[in-house]
Structure 1
Amino acid sequence: MTTLPEPKPTATAAGQAQLDDQAAKLLAAVEEAMRTPTSYRDDTPLPAYGPTPPVPQPGTPAMSQAATDIGRAAIFCGLATVPPGLVATAILLASQQADPVVIGMICAAPAALAVPILAIAKLIRGAKPEPEVHQHFHGPVTHQTTHTKTNGVWARTNNRR
């Protein structure tokens, strides 16, 4: 078995001391950054008067006018079906002619009338003329108008110029 000679100690590379100093400065900066807190929780009690943080307000949450109108229409349509249904059910039970099929038809009648009325109202409201648009261009401009229409349950887009 041959023995290998011991490796000779290598001389320090030029600039090694400078790299060690830079590494030491970097480590000192990281340690300093780690000592500084990054968050703070203020546990002092809030004042009884003056500026306070926001709290949830009672009532309907803020939403657009269209969403408010649709929500209220749904509530009113739902409430409108309760009295006639209860009256019809009470009359049928009192006369001992309560047939579940008849009760179902009587209770569904107001909703069956409300759906077409709401659909017609939406069509009338949506039949507004398109606003006239005036565009003024200065210089070389390429203007393209694309009409997009999507139909069906499985969306098929038809783009035309």
Structure 2
Amino acid sequence: MEPLPRPAAHLPLTDREAAAEAERILAAAYQPSHPAPNSTHYRDDTPLPTHGPTPPVPQPDHRIVPAWAAGTAVASIGVGAGSVGLGCCARLVLQGLASVTLYGVLMVSIPFAGAAIVATVIGCAVSKARKPAPKNIYEGPVTQNTVVTQTSTQRGMFSRTRNDLR
């Protein structure tokens, strides 16, 4: 469809001209630039040779990777690169800790050990101040029984054993 001739460029389109122009634009927009494939498989019906190599058959492949698959691949590459960076960082830190001397460790740990000793002393003082002194005073005769009697009864599935000290 050809566009309709217009008398002047500055005048608005009439309803008929606007409808014709809309039809022309839509028809041009929906013209397929490539014909759509009518099947997704290919069958080669040419007869195979009885002996010798088989000639190659072209098999076109136009795959489109989904966005989620591409995103997953990119994310996994990023996680792998990040874990390599963390591994390098851990190696450097541990290598630095391996070269620490005994005197350096002692100098760093002295304030912590002092604070721990002070906290222990305060805790012991508070716990001793709160507890009364024990009063273990035993009065009266003491008897010791060394005779053990045992009675056992069984009835059906259940049994009972009773030990008596006399």
Q: Whose Rg is larger?
A: 2
TM-score when normalising by structure 1: 0.25
TM-score when normalising by structure 2: 0.24
> Which structure's relative contact order is higher, taking Cα pairs within 8 Å and 6+ residues apart?
1
